[in-house]
């Protein structure tokens, strides 16, 4: 893998923009029809190596991933869904240790996370992984983009 940073991307309440409205819709395909994804977030992370790490149950993985691609035209590089019905920080710690660290290493600076759950952000911090909720992350990303535009303007202006 090149020197791209690895984004640990949360699904519920992060990539899903309308989670509060859709979370109780049943059956699941009705929820999939209604679920919307943050295109600005996809745009902000798409040049990095993106791994969705979610507490959503493993049996919903295939339908969820197809839905994301159908609605956005984007696929993450990898995805790990909750395979043992654990709370988000418990499952995500397990995913780091079982799947992600063995492949890419345990150096926290290789990773960053866009994560809605405060307890999961605390867990990531234990590994030296900077984790921010969507709103804080996207605000910083937009500032970076504006600064880059400003630098380009001064180079050519």
State the pLDDT at residue 155.
54
State the pLDDT at residue 146.
83
Q: What's the pTM value of the predicted model, to 2 decimals?
A: 0.93
Contact criterion met (CB below 8 Å) for 89 and 116? no
The CB-side HSE value for 61 (13 A sphere, CA atoms) comes to: 14
State the pLDDT at residue 152.
65
Buried b vs exposed e over 119-143: b needs ≥16 C-beta within 10 Å? ebbebbeebebebbbbeebbeebee
For 100-150, the pLDDT digits (tens) are: 999 999 999 999 999 999 999 999 999 999 999 999 999 999 888 788 877
Average pLDDT value for residue range 55-60? 97
């Amino acid at each position: 893998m090149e020197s791209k940073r690895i984004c640990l991307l949360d699904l519920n309440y992060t990539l899903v923009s309308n989670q509060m409205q859709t979370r109780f819709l049943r059956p699941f395909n009705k929820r999939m029809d209604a679920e919307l994804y943050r295109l600005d977030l996809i745009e902000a992370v798409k040049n990095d190596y993106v791994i969705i790490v979610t507490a959503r149950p493993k049996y919903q993985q295939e339908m969820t991933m197809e839905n994301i691609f159908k609605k956005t035209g984007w696929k993450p590089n990898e995805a790990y869904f909750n395979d043992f019905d654990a709370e988000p920080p418990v499952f995500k710690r397990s995913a780091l240790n079982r799947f992600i660290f063995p492949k890419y290493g345990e150096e926290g600076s290789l990773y960053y996370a866009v994560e809605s759950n405060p307890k999961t952000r605390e867990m990531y911090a234990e590994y030296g992984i900077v984790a921010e909720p969507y709103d804080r992350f996207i605000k910083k990303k937009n500032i970076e983009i504006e600064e880059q535009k400003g630098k380009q303007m001064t180079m050519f202006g």
